Structure 1
Amino acid sequence: MDLADDLITHPYDVYERLRTTSPVHRIKGTDGQPAWLVTRFDDVRAALADPRLSLDKTHAREGGYRGLSLPPALDANLLNMDPPDHTRLRRLVGRAFTARRVEQLRAPIRATADGLLDALGADGSTDLISAYAAPLPITVICELLGIPESHRRDFRSWTDALIAPDPSRPQAAKGAIVAMLGFLGELLAHKRREPADDLLSDLIAVRDAEDDRLTEDELMSLAFLILFAGYENTVQLIGNAVLALLHNPDQMDALRKDPSRIPAAVEEFARFEGPALLAIRRFPTQDVTIGDVRIPAGDTVLLSLSAANRDPDRFPDPDRLDIGRDAAGHLALGHGIHYCLGAPLARAETEIAVAALLERFEEIELLEAEPRWRPSLRARGLIELPVSYRGARPTS
């Protein structure tokens, strides 16, 4: 089957049909080539941790994989690697996202959230994506990496072009790649000349001191991935969480009455409407069987995180948002060795963003019954989230 527009606007209806009738289904993938779509929770979870399913594109069947082509300086990243290179790079960058480091960032994140809400004023209307959900993670990740504020607007436009390429502007994504490559090259050169207390300077020190641990392409690719994923996943998780609450005012009221429930609620937001429909494509290094279906080596395998998280065999009544649910074990941020490296930071930012928003405004209402989703078959995020708000309370 072809992936229809419904997978963008109403993906869960499509996934429910597939999960029930053919949980491992032959489809036309996001690049127009044949692929296998896996939709059941148990199958997806097992596949995410299966070492026979490689992220390395060299294992793809010839002619079976086509996608947005990145230059080597951006392509040598964790999303295209298996161990041992994946293990080596993940260890190098993992220290930036430890629980201790994230706790240290909570106060600055809250200050950023409060500043963005201050700019909205007491009563009015806005697009919460452009005014709040997007600039918050951009600010956090850019400060973590040491990227000047003057470049953050450009970075967002480049990222948007890569997340959901516009078919009417086929050169936009390529232009974004060229621009980002040039920007990162200049930034790394500047950090070499003037190192600072930031993650990029730390990575450069590792690269220059120990050449066998980090190549130049790996260095730039890591910077690209941290920027891209650090922004993309979090802006989508925040926007989706707020939309879910607006569609479920009883759940919003429950969080207002007891903000201590917000950390657990974030897990339910991620399960209910996570930031990605699909995990990064995999390629079997040998013939594998998923469910009852034999998949030849080299074929493309697409694992549906969102379908798995709505599987009633794992989560009863899965299409209902329930902040009291035990959503632990959801797959929104992956599983196994490729589990999202920035998950602790994404969780913290979403907790803080939701808490600050609910504390600030007594009333928040949608201005459009059906906000528009990004035209992407992988990312699950809103183009905009128009709301009205009133009853603002100043920060203490």
Structure 2
Amino acid sequence: MPTELPDLTSLIAAPHEAYVRLREAGPVHRVTGPDGLPVWLVTRYDDVRRLLADPRLSLDKAHRLPGRYRGFSLPPALDANLLNMDPPDHTRIRRLVAKAFTPGRVEGMRGGIQALADRLLDEVADRGRADLVADYAAPLPITVICDLLGVPQDSRPDFRAWTDALIAPDPANPAATKQAVVAMLGYFPQLIGDKRRTPGNDLLTDLVEVRDGGDRLTEDELTSLAFLILSAGYENTVQLIGTAALALLDHPELAAALRADPDRIEAAVEEFARHDGPALLAIRRFPVEDVEVGGVRIPAGETVMLSLASANRDPERFAEPDRLDVDRRDGGHLALGHGIHYCVGAPLARLETQIAVGTLLRRFPGLALDVPRDELRRRPSMRARGLVALPVRF
């Protein structure tokens, strides 16, 4: 029988400890979601990987049962994006975006990302102290993705604040989320209009031309796509860089080994993603027909949550899963998804994190935490459990 849990958000404080108990108890559990409605939580690697690629699990909210999942609703101009679509619309739109993130194009961005990482560390080098989230992990990906899309410099601080309000809402300021949605609804049509009047050498201009030329995108799809690329391109990478930096601080022997052999950094980033990835859960899904998981029948239209974090610590898949081991050979983590909804920007996120880690190791060999370890705080969010701040000295 599935385990009953009072509240999915209760996992936020210590998810990995809770997932040990859940995996042992069974493969799927009936829990209460963040919106107060019941959801099914899947915790074991084989099940999560299979269901991530199962076409019977839809991302389209049209398949949810009436009176069930509410979640966080965006207006149509921001909601018509890849996280709410199935083929053929998903295939059509993803094909357009994927051209910007091919390995060749991403590799061509290496020099610019490296220069940016060095510049950000130059700005804090004389202080002897920094917050690696605010000063490094956050501005690096937001700059890269804004450059890619052609977002003007003066808009970037606002965009970062809006994204933070959506991804990790502040319980003390519930109005901030609605204000961020209103601001984005005003901003993205304006930005798209600017690209129509003055085309640039950027991805958003390319998408505008697709929309206006071949009519392969609706206006809502275009606006939603710009919103998704900016928010997702920032969200996952800032968390991955931050937790990678924390792992280096927690394991100075690993930092020394990577500093001595930078060729190992690529594999290290994969292990950082597996061990403490950017998201606890994949985006919610709705079965279009009854689906069985470990002998438990999940009815069509119910809400299914697939735990990436639990799957990536499943001892049936990974030896000593709670141990950080950059030399492990049992790869195949699910931190960036699997199947047709695999993170389209994964090659860029990997490159940014590899450069961020390598540059940090090279520039600041004496890096150390500037606060007691137990004072570090995570964002209280199921989507974005990254560090609020990472104060260091060097």
Into which bin does the TM-score normalised by the smaller protein fall? over 0.9
Q: Partner residue of 1:222?
A: 225
Is 2:389 aligned against 1:381?
no
Structure 2 distance, partners of 1:154, 1:346, is 22
Asked if the contact 1:8–1:376 (Cα under 8 Å) also holds between the matched residues in 2, the reply is yes
Asked if the contact 1:233–1:275 (Cα under 8 Å) also holds between the matched residues in 2, the reply is yes
SS of residue in 2 equivalent to 1:328? coil
1:54 corresponds to which letter in structure 2? S
Matches within 5 A, 1:221-370: 221-326=224-329, 328-366=331-369, 367-370=371-374
CA shift for structure 1 position 168:
2.6
CA shift for structure 1 position 379:
2.0
CA shift for structure 1 position 166:
1.9
Structure 1 distance, partners of 2:252, 2:10, is 26
Structure 1 distance, partners of 2:359, 2:243, is 16
Structure 2 distance, partners of 1:159, 1:7, is 23
1:96 corresponds to which letter in structure 2? A
Q: Partner residue of 2:203?
A: 199
Q: 1:24 to 1:4 in 2, by over 3 A?
A: closer
CA shift for structure 1 position 380:
2.4
Q: Which of 51, 58, 78 is equivalent to 2:55?
A: 51
Q: Which of 97, 113, 122 is equivalent to 1:109?
A: 113
Asked if the contact 1:39–1:307 (Cα under 8 Å) also holds between the matched residues in 2, the reply is yes
TM, length-normalised to structure 2: 0.97
Q: Which of 120, 133, 140 is equivalent to 1:136?
A: 140
CA shift for structure 1 position 251:
1.4
Asked if the contact 1:146–1:199 (Cα under 8 Å) also holds between the matched residues in 2, the reply is yes
**Sequence identity, in percent?**
66
SS of residue in 2 equivalent to 1:120? helix
CA shift for structure 1 position 31:
1.7
Asked if the contact 1:6–1:14 (Cα under 8 Å) also holds between the matched residues in 2, the reply is no
Structure 1 distance, partners of 2:174, 2:13, is 22
Structure 2 distance, partners of 1:270, 1:32, is 29
SS of residue in 2 equivalent to 1:119? helix
2:388 corresponds to which letter in structure 1? I
Q: Partner residue of 1:71?
A: 75
Asked if the contact 1:268–1:327 (Cα under 8 Å) also holds between the matched residues in 2, the reply is no
Aligned residue pairs, count: 388
Q: 1:341 to 1:253 in 2, by over 3 A?
A: same
Q: Residue deviations 1:231-285, cap 9 Å, x none? A: 0000000001111121112211110110110011111010001000000000000
CA shift for structure 1 position 203:
0.3
SS of residue in 1 equivalent to 2:368? strand
Asked if the contact 1:334–1:340 (Cα under 8 Å) also holds between the matched residues in 2, the reply is yes
SS of residue in 2 equivalent to 1:387? strand
Cα RMSD after superposing both structures: 1.1
CA shift for structure 1 position 123:
5.4
Q: Residue deviations 1:8-56, cap 9 Å, x none? A: 2311000111011122000001221100000000000000000000000
1:22 corresponds to which letter in structure 2? G
Structure 2 distance, partners of 1:166, 1:379, is 12
Matches within 5 A, 1:91-130: 91-122=95-126, 124-130=128-134
CA shift for structure 1 position 86:
0.1
Asked if the contact 1:248–1:321 (Cα under 8 Å) also holds between the matched residues in 2, the reply is no
Q: Partner residue of 1:392?
A: none
CA shift for structure 1 position 326:
2.5
Is 2:155 aligned against 1:155?
no
1:99 corresponds to which letter in structure 2? P
Where in structure 2 are there 5+ consecutive unaligned residues?
Answer: none
Asked if the contact 1:368–1:386 (Cα under 8 Å) also holds between the matched residues in 2, the reply is no
2:184 corresponds to which letter in structure 1? M
CA shift for structure 1 position 7:
2.0
Structure 2 distance, partners of 1:195, 1:326, is 47
Q: Residue deviations 1:132-190, cap 9 Å, x none? A: 00000000000000001111110111011001112232221111011011111110000
Q: 1:166 to 1:343 in 2, by over 3 A?
A: same
Q: Residue deviations 1:321-342, cap 9 Å, x none? A: 1111125310000000000000
Asked if the contact 2:8–2:32 (Cα under 8 Å) also holds between the matched residues in 1, the reply is no
Structure 1 distance, partners of 2:329, 2:190, is 46
Structure 2 distance, partners of 1:155, 1:327, is 38
Structure 1 distance, partners of 2:8, 2:14, is 10
Matches within 5 A, 1:183-198: 183-198=187-202
Structure 1 distance, partners of 2:390, 2:61, is 36
Q: Which of 182, 185, 191 is equivalent to 1:178?
A: 182
CA shift for structure 1 position 299:
0.5
Name the stretch that deviates more: 30-39 or 300-309: 30-39
Q: Partner residue of 1:394?
A: none
Structure 1 distance, partners of 2:330, 2:92, is 31
Structure 2 distance, partners of 1:123, 1:152, is 24
Name the stretch that deviates more: 345-354 or 360-369: 360-369
SS of residue in 1 equivalent to 2:67? coil
